[in-house]
Structure 1
Amino acid sequence: MNFLKTSIAAATIAFGGAAFADDMNKMSGDMPATVVDIVVGSDDHETLEAAVTAAGLVETLSGEGPYTVFAPTDAAFAALPEGALEDALKPENKEMLTKILGCHVVDTKAMAADVVKMVEDGDGMAEVTTIGNCRLKLSVDGDMVKINEGATVTAADLAAGNGVVHVIDAVLMPAM
């Protein structure tokens, strides 16, 4: 029992418990129906919302799921090289945009405690494959969950009826 309590506490710390609480306090009413509803309802994910719309993924991510979405913030998109986002959002680059966004979605619902357990069970590292066929390496560095050693989960467990959203501070790029 103590291990379970420790794992849940570690998950809360590793996934930015304070930021999670702040985000959940902004949401009113019942649990959002979809992961898309979470993104649309967030002031920090306007770029992601535009990208999901441009890629034509709104209907897919509004489907039954389950999905785990690692959602880059607007600041994460702003940190991309100059012109990269604008190029990706062009209609002629829809396939590339879809591949990039596919690197942020896993076809299962993995709450923070699930991710921490996967990392612990994997002796400090877990690997998952996204719907975009990207391989993500999850690890814990101090009290933070890292993805591919470059992105950090800053808020977690934003639950929806068809999955969960974890906020990250970087854009995950596919191998090109």
Structure 2
Amino acid sequence: MHSTSSTSTSAPSSATRNIVDTAAANGSFKIFSNALRQSGLANTLKGNGPFTVLAPTDAAFGKLPPGQLDTWLKPENKDELAAVMNYHVLAGRSSAAEIGKLTAVKTINGQSAPIVMSGSRVRIGDAELTTPDIASSNGVLHGIDKVNIPTRH
């Protein structure tokens, strides 16, 4: 006998995975998942969190200038890649609706990213939030359509 319960847990299969495994299982975040591993951030994002990750889709990485991703993925550029990846991570668990109410968010790389709400669309930096609220056991993942690049000091 099957019971149809309307609990508020969305995507229970992904809610049991941490953010890194959720991104890897999604299929739209293959490049992001690889960059997390290469930057050393994957181990952090497998931790307790909670984290909010603004994950550029594979298509978003395709919008980078030619050769940019390959340059970041070189071992000698690990620090720069880590700075870019950390610019896509927020401390705490924030839904798309909560992010949309803000004017900026502080990323774990220390820089703030501006937020603009236009109708039902949420922009974070230069990216639009396209796939909101992907649940994970230690936070939430939001797909974005562009790689946000932090300013250099």
Fold match by TM threshold 0.5: yes
Q: TM-score, with normalisation over the residues of structure 1?
A: 0.77
Please state which structure has a larger fraction of its residues in helix.
1
Structure 2 equivalent of residue 13 of structure 1: none
Q: Which runs of 5+ in 1 are unaligned?
A: 1-23, 120-125
| 1:166 shift after superposition | 0.5
Structure 1 equivalent of residue 136 of structure 2: 160
How many residue pairs were aligned?
143
Aligned partners of 1:151, 1:93: CA distance in 2, in Å? 23
SS in 1 for 2:110: coil
Structure 2 equivalent of residue 170 of structure 1: 146
Q: Which runs of 5+ in 2 are unaligned?
A: 1-9
| 1:33 shift after superposition | 2.6
Q: CA RMSD in A?
A: 1.5
Please, which of 97, 104, 109 is the counterpart of residue 127 of structure 1?
104
Change in Cα spacing, 1:61 to 1:30, as seen in structure 2 (3 Å) is: closer
* Residue pairs, 1:81-120, within 5 angstroms: 81-116=65-100, 118-119=101-102
Structure 2 equivalent of residue 17 of structure 1: none
Q: Deviations over 1:35-84 (max 9, x none)?
A: 11111102111100110011111110000001000000011111100110
| 1:30 shift after superposition | 5.7
Q: TM-score, with normalisation over the residues of structure 2?
A: 0.88
Aligned partners of 2:16, 2:114: CA distance in 1, in Å? 28
| 1:135 shift after superposition | 0.9
Q: What residue identity is the alignment partner of 1:84?
A: Q
Aligned partners of 1:170, 1:98: CA distance in 2, in Å? 17
SS in 1 for 2:142: strand
Q: Is the 8 A contact 2:14 2:136 kept in 1?
A: no
Q: Deviations over 1:122-173 (max 9, x none)?
A: xxxx11110011211112112210112x210001111111100010000010
Structure 2 equivalent of residue 31 of structure 1: 15
Structure 1 equivalent of residue 116 of structure 2: 139
Percent same amino acid at aligned positions?
Answer: 36
SS in 1 for 2:147: coil
Q: What residue identity is the alignment partner of 1:75?
A: A
